[in-house]
């Protein structure tokens, strides 16, 4: 089982490249390249992150089928595009239930990675207030299969949004 952590790998590679460039250019221009490189390393790579979120969801789906994890989860089945951040926050909270119910290290690690990737990909890191959206507890409880299907749909909304 492979856990994807693209944020960490891309950042470290960019920082090493900056250090390499800086060692050859100990001038004012070299320092500017170093600073700009470090700044770009910290910027989120949201398009790529959502693809990794999908990969992690597929891993969770496969693992929960093999382990027969039986849980019902608050699920947003028909989120309005204006409520996608609110819906995503609910999905991320409910993922912890899957992690707890499964008591499986592979699922725990995949859930943690997915949560980090999704949170870092949300606009303003999810600090957006959307009005008129349902709270998590107001959503219908559904099985894991339906929960994951709806989760895929919400991720696609983020990928396809401008």
Q: Are residues 18 and 97 in the same domain?
A: no
Whether residue 2 is contained in a domain is answered as no
pLDDT digits (tens, 9 = 90+) for 1-35: 444 455 444 455 555 555 555 555 556 666 665 56
Q: Are residues 138 and 58 in the same domain?
A: yes
Q: Are residues 108 and 130 in the same domain?
A: yes
Whether residue 35 is contained in a domain is answered as yes
Whether residue 106 is contained in a domain is answered as yes
Whether residue 4 is contained in a domain is answered as no
Whether residue 57 is contained in a domain is answered as yes
What pLDDT does residue 90 have? 95
Whether residue 14 is contained in a domain is answered as yes
Q: Is the pLDDT of residue 92 over 60?
A: yes
Q: Are residues 99 and 73 in the same domain?
A: yes
What pLDDT does residue 123 have? 79
Please give the average per-residue pLDDT across 95-109, as a whole number: 91
Q: Are residues 80 and 128 in the same domain?
A: yes
**Residues 6+ positions from 62 with CB-CB distance below 8 Å:** none
pLDDT digits (tens, 9 = 90+) for 116-149: 999 988 877 567 788 899 999 999 999 999 999 9
Residue-averaged pLDDT of the chain: 80
Q: Are residues 21 and 57 in the same domain?
A: no
Whether residue 80 is contained in a domain is answered as yes
Could you tell me if 157 and 79 are in contact, meaning their C-beta atoms sit under 8 angstroms apart? yes
pTM: 0.69
Q: What is the DSSP secondary structure assignment for residue 134, as one 8-state letter?
A: P
Which of 36 and 7 is assigned the larger pLDDT?
36
**Distance in angstroms (rounded) separating the CA atoms of residues 147 and 144:** 5
37-41, 56-60, 85-89, 134-138: least confidently modelled range: 37-41
Q: Are residues 34 and 114 in the same domain?
A: no
- What domain range includes position 110? 50-160
* Buried residues in 90-129 as b, exposed as e (16+ CB within 10 A): bbbebbebbbebbebeebebbbebbbbbbeebbeeeeeee
> What token pair was written down for 59?
């891993």
Q: What is the number of domains present in the chain?
A: 2
């Amino acid at each position: 089982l492979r856990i994807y952590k693209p944020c960490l790998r891309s950042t470290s590679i960019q920082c090493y490249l900056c250090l390499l460039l800086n060692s050859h250019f100990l001038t004012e221009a070299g320092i500017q390249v170093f600073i700009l490189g470090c700044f770009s390393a910290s910027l989120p790579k949201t398009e790529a992150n959502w693809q990794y979120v999908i990969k992690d969801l597929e891993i969770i789906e496969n693992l929960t089928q093999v382990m027969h994890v039986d849980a019902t989860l608050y699920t947003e089945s028909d989120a309005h595009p204006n409520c996608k951040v609110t819906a995503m926050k609910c999905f991320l909270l409910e993922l912890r239930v899957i992690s707890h119910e499964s008591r499986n290290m592979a699922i725990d690690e995949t859930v943690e990675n997915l949560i980090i990737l999704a949170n870092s990909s949300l606009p303003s890191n999810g600090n957006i207030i959307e009005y008129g959206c349902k709270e998590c507890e107001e959503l219908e409880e559904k099985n894991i299969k339906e929960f994951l299907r709806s989760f895929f749909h919400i991720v696609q909304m983020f990928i396809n949004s401008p």
